[in-house]
Structure 1
Amino acid sequence: MSLFPTYNRFPLTIVSGEGTKVTDDQGKEYLDFVSGIAVCNLGHRPPKVQEALQKQLDQVWHVSNLYEIPAQQKAAELLCEGSGLDYAFFCNSGAEANEAAIKLARKHTGREKIISFKQSFHGRTFATMSATGQAKIQEGFGSLLQTFEYFPYNDKEAIERVHDGSVAAIMVEVIQGEGGVIPGTTEFLQAVEAKCDELGALMIIDEVQTGIGRTGKTFAYQHHGLNPDIVTTAKGLGSGFPVGAMIGKEKLAPSFSAGAHGSTFGGNPLASAAVQATLEEIFVSSFLTDVEEKGHTFVQALQEELSSLNSVKDIRGKGLMIGVEVDTPAIELVHSLRGRGLLAVVAGPNVLRLLPPLTVETEELQRAAALIKASLVEQEKNLQNA
């Protein structure tokens, strides 16, 4: 092997994919409820995105951001329209988007402290690792940035007790994805916004996993009537093409003037073509309404299939971002489901995370729920016979 062993890889090699299904090198087909971890929101190889990329490949692949890139401008307009914000900056990943947000917040406010939350996940660069409220992400790397403070998630009272004029921003996920698919309550999220207003701090919402239609809105914060200063996004933004973005309010533009930040590849013609084609399909009200309805259908199917099982402790989430909490290691369930032809992923030790493409059919959602039940029933029998 010539790769650093940074991933615990499953014994699976996917060689083709279309829509909600992928096929391995042995010819076995799977229903993909990982979607590249909330990346392939339009499924694998969505025709319009593929067509847009091919068209761009035939023109020009990359030019520097020293020049005008019309597709980048169009992609920015779509993001701003969908978010209600004013300016976008393109980069290559969610971590880079969050890096940009942290830099912008500190530069704009002239302050250094940023509040984030326990069990949060914001990335693996030094700044975003420092923002992440999980010790397992931070261990072994020495001193982190010392200007982050972690508060309990969904604790409205704890946030209301903050009285600190050195806070530049509060950085929050609407649903903690890696932390266990934990939805934030409206009361908590609105308290975060109110505290930002009180302190003169910026509200940064990390929508890397929850954005681009995943929860049935363009961005998940729209379910709660929030008005953030900065929103970060990636994953589903380019349908699998590596791209991220930070979106912010007009008042922040002077703090990110020429030379303040940059990215060689961010928003290049290929990335921008992928973003534009993706958003033109997802940022449509009928499409998003359909995602919300599918989310309700999926939760209902899971509840009907799993309610009688003692091992299931909770079913939670929003739209097509669902977590099933079990009382056994969730990775065992992932392995069992792979054998049955369903791909899923964990979110912490005891939560099965389900992230189907937003184009998934109702029948596929119901089939997935039945497969999850079959695996859990088998597990419970094995434990009884052990």
Structure 2
Amino acid sequence: MKKEDIIKVGISIGDLNGIGSEIILKTFEDSRSLDLCTPVIFASSKVMNFFKKHFSSKINFYEINSINQIVHGKVNVLNVWKEGVNVQFGKEDKKIGEYAIKSLQASVTALKDGQIDVLVTAPINKHNIQSDTFKFPGHTDYLNQQLQGDSLMFMISENLRVGLLTDHVPVKDVPSYITEELIRQKITTVSTSLRQDFAISKPKIAVLAVNPHAGDNGVIGNEDDNVLRPALEKLRKEGGLVYGPYSADSFFGSNSYQKFDAVIASYHDQGLIPFKTITFGNGVNFTAGLNKVRTSPDHGTAYEIAGKGEADESSFKRAMFTAIEIYRKRRDYNFYSKNPLKKMSR
């Protein structure tokens, strides 16, 4: 593979007191990963060497002070800061949250400027990142502000893809958020992503009901009959392969999800609890709908095991490989969309 074809993967370090550093180190212990991508960790050489010593890692980092100094075949560490950091595994720390945001902001800037091709984010603590200058409930909302498009939390695995109508919204407020406009927007985003990011030409999508038993004809709420069902009927009349609303309680247990290319849940836990139960930690959080590719593992900071060497890097590794795969498929999709005769001649 030519050097110019190797994808540059930016990595934000996440919460330094969590398991992010450990899963990053474990991912790149296998040097074969450097044949597929050139990683750039946005942190500091001091803190990464601390982690290397703590976890007895054999990785040799390549320290850089500018994104232009990236070297292929190396695990690059870009110095976003140079001072020492007091790492205390398993502790929530406001100062550590500030470093997580420094890393995130620097990596997103590089992504926007085309200096890295994709971004993989290590877990953050949504509480300690809050400040007067950063008021976002998580990565997805920040990325939506910084990058072009309409972001959607899209949880993906080999056999299951789950998108959300609403994500970090209190359950009591969910019905007020679900409008015909939102439904159309999110379904369009999922459909577009399935075509350009997963090479599915005619995506088939299931939508889960807002209320138990899809409202039972108004006995348990009117949102499904008055808002969700009419919106889906309009989309079907326009040619969309969109079905539902399905009662969420039996949808996954009956394996109905296997009949569709993606499932859209009405709210966070309705989609993520079954997703994480079925995928057993091998899922990936992909931010669909943006002009750049970002993925992350499907777990949090895991303070309870931080620093102990017990963290499983599977989801992070899968997030990295998924970002690379999506980047390539999107590149091909965009190329052949502009050059349809090229596709016909293949």
TM-score w.r.t. length of structure 2: 0.28
Q: Taking structure 1 as the reference length, what is the TM-score of the superposition?
A: 0.26
